[in-house]
Amino acid sequence: MEKTKKRRLSIIFESDISPDAHAEESSNKKKGSGDQGGETKGHLLDFIALASVPLVLVFGNSMLVPILPDLQEKLAISQFQSSLVITLFSVTAGLVIPVSGYLSDRFSRKGIIIPSLIIYGAAGILAGFAAIWNSYTILIIARALQGLGAAGTSSIAMALAGDMYNDGTESKALGLIEASNGTGKVLSPILGSLLALIVWYAAFFAFPLFCLLSLLAVMFLIKEPKRKKEPEKLGTYLHNIFSVLKEKGRWLITAFFAGSLALFVLFGVLFYLSDILEEAPYNIDGVMKGLVLAIPLLGMVVTSYTTGALIKKNGTLMRWLMNIGLGIMTVSLGLCIFFYNSNMYLFIGLLTLSSIGTGLLLPCLNTMITGSVPRAQRGGITSLYNSLRFLGVAFGPPLFGWMMDMSHQIVFITVTVLAFIALGLVFFLIKPKGQLQSQ
């Protein structure tokens, strides 16, 4: 277990594992074929398989955003009912993720990811037939089942990366997972718009194909490390989870808040941008709107991957990057208060800067949360984190829509204040130093 240095509001990550024990543990972590001189090739295959999981997760939700107006028209439903197609998926996933985390700690990571992908893809096919049958009831049931499947994907892949790697390779894998998540967000609106040119419900049937590819990659390209210890009973497991939260709760809860807030802001701002692009004087819709929305997301993707590759579990560097990222978010969102309706190029530039700040923040949080929690509780803790992230994504668009009805300036005043609060909490409560050791 890590020791917490007895200093007010200062958290230092250290390892009390002996060098020999740590070396033995490290040797048991997946190294691809690096020990035989093929490190790049071995890791590349693993990275592709791991990255496919969050990519599929995003495709299953965000590809549907461009077709919601068609869905509303064809099924003769209200705007609120069409929004539930997205929100119900995210809420269901957010509520079930902690259960999936426990099951992955109790059994195995792949043992949860594989059936989750099967449920996810099969429910996608059911949703497609529901669209053909013009049945909103079946569609909503299918989307809830997809949320159930989604709960066992990205968060468990994050825990699996922590099991397979250590040191710089772990942070690089986690940065790639975050970048893959962002890449899915970039491509989803464009793919959804293109597929809608064939037939409006084509996205429902295209998604299971991506799901199948990810399923095959996880099954055949990833070798999960074997566990030496017997899995904990539920009572013991919950006790240990609460012990972790009690010991590290000050910085863990702050990290949970900062990560979920970052995605709340990101998705809310994209919802805002998507709405105003369709209005005069811009009148941008379809594939072109998807390309414009991809600009801020591309900034986050590139930054996330670069950050994950550079931090190499350097606690001091992580602290700098987290604070810089939140600082950039605060300043850029604050400037949007004054420039949201003056110049579209400047406005998109400010939103891209905010996304770059998000790209600096999230890989650091992912590495700290995954790497500083014992393996036996890693699935549970990372799942709690991802559950809050999902809820941030789910409630971002409706809350932004509610604030937009009051005032556009209120939107950016609110998110600026929230980003500033997160900056203060992270600055004072998360203080990693030195080289973080994997548990």
356: burial class by Cβ within 10 Å (0-12, 13-18, 19+)? buried
Q: What percent of the chain has pLDDT over 90?
A: 29
Query: At residue 5, does pLDDT exceed 50?
Result: no
pLDDT in tens, 36-66: 334 445 578 888 888 899 888 888 877 887 7
CB 112 within 8 A of CB 156: yes
Cα–chain-centroid distance for residue 118? 20
321: burial class by Cβ within 10 Å (0-12, 13-18, 19+)? buried
- Average confidence (pLDDT) over 116-134: 93
242-251: long-range contacts, CB 8 A cutoff, minimum separation 24 = 244/373, 244/374, 244/377, 244/381, 247/1, 247/4, 248/2, 248/4, 248/11, 248/372, 248/373, 250/9, 250/11, 250/429, 251/11, 251/368, 251/429, 251/430, 251/431
Does the model's pTM come out above 0.85? no
The total number of residues shown for the chain amounts to: 439
pLDDT in tens, 252-284: 999 999 999 998 898 788 778 877 887 777 888
CB 429 within 8 A of CB 250: yes
Residue 228's φ and ψ, nearest 5 degrees, are -90, -30
Lowest model confidence (mean pLDDT) among 45-54, 89-98, 223-232, 405-414: 223-232
Residue 94 CA to residue 384 CA, distance in Å, equals 9
